[in-house]
Every structure is written in structure tokens, then in C-alpha cells.
Amino acid sequence: MNLSVEGARLFPGYFSSEARRALLADVLARIEAAPFYTPTMPRSGAPLSTRTTNLGPLGWVTDIAGYRYQAEHPHTGATWPAMPRTLLDLWRDLADYPAPPEACLVNWYGPASRLGLHVDQDEEAVNAPVVSVSLGDDALFRLGGQSRRDPTHSFRLHSGDVVVLAGVSRRCFHGVDRIYPGTSQLVPGGGRINLTMRRVNWP
């Protein structure tokens, strides 16, 4: 399904309920070695409302020093666990890009978590899409244009949905306005887990 901006596509229910359970179990087993932590904003050091970790050769990290990709978990110092095959297959299916993703950001959203409007722009491979999987509680996703002042459209993401931001939409503002607590029983303890895959370096 095409969204409001060129290159933005939504695949509702890409993962069946069984596939969601298997993918989440795989991710949770892998991140036992790379536990969720609370990221902080550049300069202010203010905490984000999501908890975060990564899978893959690189992870996206934010702290008082800024945004960056790095190979190590900032708290344990260990390299990030590998990405599940299911996610690499998903990328091959939908990304239309000649190289695999290098980073999978794993964000946990609680009942009050949100993610302000932003553009993903810490990657060199700006022509590679962003592919993102929603698991657990529903979320209200907002997609705008290339300027922060452009009009935005909001739509609800459900567990198992996949969003691809390619083309023009790859450079567009987006964020998560709210979570709908209790709309899914998938995530142990509740909440939403978003898996966002990105290519960082040129192939």
C-alpha cells in the first residue's frame, strides 16, 4: 500500500501472528546479550522515552556526545548480536538494494513512549531504504515531508506491519505520536517493539 509520500509503503500484516511470535522470540533471545538501555539526547543528555538496543554489525547510538553508529553496545562494550535471518530475508524481499542492512535498531515503547518528528540522516548510504517492523501494541505513526513545516499524515501501525521508507520518503520527517497500550499481548510485559533496519555505509 502506497502512503502519502513517494517511496513510502505499508505492508499490513506482513508477518502472520505465528511469524510475529517466532521473530520476537528470536530477537528477545539475541538481546539477552545486549540488554535494553535508556538512550539520551545529544547536548542536553535528556532521556528518550523509548528503551533501545541494536542487532547487526553496527548499532545506532545517541548520548550527550551526539548521534552515531558504532559496533559496540555502549554499556557492555560487547559487539551487537547478529540480525535474525528473518530480518535479512525481509530486507532482501522489500529493500531493492544490492547490499544487506548493517544495523537493526530495536526500540521498546511503553504506554507513554513517543518519538518526536525526525529524519533518519546518520547514514552514508542515503539511497538505501529504511525497513521497519512493528511488533506488539499499536502505534500512531506520523509521516511528513522534507521540511519540518510540511503537512503530515498519521496512520495506525499494528503488530506484524512493515513500513518501507524509500525514494523521497527516505528524507522525510516521521515519528511516533502515541502507543495504544493493551492492544496486543505479544510483548512480554506489554508495549511495542519496533525493529528498524538500515544500511549505513556505501556497499
4's CB contacts (< 8 A; 6+ apart) are 143, 153
* DSSP state at residue 46: P
Please identify, using beta-carbon distances, which residue of 81 and 194 lies nearer to ligand SIN. Answer: 194
The CB-of-147 to ligand SIN minimum distance in angstroms stands at 17
What character string, x for contact with Mn ion (CB under 5 A) and - otherwise, covers 83-122?
Answer: -------------------------------------x--
Partner residues linked to 154 by β-bridges: 142
Which region holds residue 116: left if phi is over 0, alpha if psi is between -120 and 50, else beta?
beta
The CB-of-17 to Mn ion minimum distance in angstroms stands at 26
The CB-of-137 to ligand SIN minimum distance in angstroms stands at 11
77's CB contacts (< 8 A; 6+ apart) are none
Please identify, using beta-carbon distances, which residue of 72 and 177 lies nearer to ligand SIN. Answer: 177
Q: Which alpha helices (DSSP H) does 53-111 contain, by range? A: 85-94
194 binds, among ligand SIN, Mn ion, none (CB under 5 to 8 A by kind): ligand SIN
Please identify, using beta-carbon distances, which residue of 30 and 174 lies nearer to ligand SIN. Answer: 174
107 binds, among ligand SIN, Mn ion, none (CB under 5 to 8 A by kind): ligand SIN
The separation between the first and the last C-alpha atoms of the chain, rounded to the nearest angstrom, is 28
Residue found under cell 511469524: 19
Among positive and negative, which fits the CA dihedral 91, 152, 3, 25?
positive
The CB-of-139 to ligand SIN minimum distance in angstroms stands at 6
**Which residues lie near Mn ion (CB under 5 A)?**
120
